[in-house]
Amino acid sequence: MTATISALLADSTTELTALSGGAAGVDVRALLCHVLGQPSSYLYTWPERKLTAAQLAQFRQLFARRLQGEPVAYILGYRDFWTLRLNVSPTTLIPRPETELLVEQALAVLPATPCRVLDLGTGTGAVALAIASERPDVTVVGVDLMPEAVALASRNAHDNHLSNAHFIQSDWFSALSDMNRFEVIVSNPPYIDGDDPHLQQGDVRFEPASALVAEESGLAAIRHIGQTAPTYLVDGGWLMVEHGYNQGEAVRAAWKDAGWPDAKTQQDYAGLDRITLAQRL
């Protein structure tokens, strides 16, 4: 059986939309591009082109996995974040576009001179590597509890030719010496409450709970980071974390108790509370 690009796009998108909703077209195009080894523009300029039998078989196999709910990023093994292509695996969270706000804010407060950044719970290394790519003069240290994440982030540094980012296994700050002081500490920690129905839907069902779920209504990791970070920041250094759209007030309250009275919350491009940041004065 043969199939044209346009027919496959239309049929597969309809089939997937019934199951997973709005982003089905994006997912189908990503799988098709992967199978064809072409950029997405090809799908629009060659809609009548037919896939070879081998390409069609491969597409059907990948699409069947997507129909089972598996995230496209895990099927393909990569996800683009910032300007980087990152290897991903089911042992790490899939980098999300809204997390680019954390990168932008870190870059905005970083001193213009060579300095140091710490990324807590680095996962694929997405935030650490994006910062490292924009600031070759800055040393970025990314830590993660999971050895698999440390290995993956190191591989991502290598594949993106970023030699100023380094990854170590650590339970938050545990492997650091308090001689280590950073100008900026960033984190996209787990912040979802274990009972949140969001965890039963879509891609998150396939992602590691350790990267998503935290105790204390999702605030345990953010609270721990707020309490411990001052020891590891230079005077004037910045702490910033990503959190849920409805957690801004709770994060500021938790950090106030930890000695950060002036924390501010910023919204992402969807207009939702997304990160809270504070300066050590």
Ligand-binding annotation for 203, yes or no, is no
Annotation-wise, does 123 bind a ligand?
yes
For the chain, the residue count is 281
Least distance in angstroms from the C-beta of 223 to ligand GLN: 15
The response to whether 202 counts as a known ligand-binding position is: no
CB 208 within 8 A of CB 71: no
Q: Is 121 annotated as a binding residue?
A: yes
What's the closest the beta carbon of residue 242 comes to ligand GLN, in angstroms? 6
CB of 96 to ligand GLN, least distance (A): 6
Of the two residues 192 and 225, which places its CB atom closer to ligand GLN in the complex? Answer: 192
Question: Is 276 annotated as ligand-binding?
Answer: no
Distance CA(120)–CA(132), nearest Å, equals 15
Specify the residue, 50 or 96, whose C-beta has the smaller distance to ligand GLN.
Answer: 96
CA dihedral 211, 214, 218, 224 (to 10 degrees): -100
CB of 222 to ligand GLN, least distance (A): 10
Site residues (vs ligand GLN, CB under 6 A): 96, 188, 190-192, 204, 212, 242
User: Does the annotation list 190 as a binding residue?
Assistant: yes
Provide, rounded to whole angstroms, the least separation between the CB of residue 55 and ligand GLN.
32
Q: Which residue is nearest to ligand GLN (CB)?
A: 212
Tokens coding 271: 């207009």
- Residues 245, 271 contacting (CB under 8 angstroms): no
Query: Minimal distance in Å, beta carbon 105 to ligand GLN?
Result: 16
| Residue 125 assigned to a binding site | yes
Nearer to ligand GLN (CB atom), residue 132 or residue 204: 204
Q: How far is the CB of 213 from ligand GLN (least distance, A)?
A: 8
**Nearer CB in complex with ligand GLN: 92/133:** 92
Write down the residue that tokens 């140091």 correspond to: 116
Identify any residues that bridge with 166 across adjacent strands, giving them in sequence order.
141
Task: Tell me if 122 is assigned to a ligand binding site.
Answer: yes
Residue 71 in marked binding region: no
Nearer to ligand GLN, 91 or 188 (CB): 188
Compare residues 18 and 272 and give the one whose CB is closer to ligand GLN.
272
Task: List the one residue out of 267, 281, 271, 235 whose CA is nearest residue 104.
Answer: 267
CA dihedral 94, 255, 246, 265 (to 10 degrees): -80
User: Smaller CB distance to ligand GLN: residue 56 or 101?
Assistant: 101
Binding residues for substrate: 188-191
Binding-site residues: 121-125, 144, 172, 188-191
Binding positions for S-adenosyl-L-methionine: 121-125, 144, 172, 188
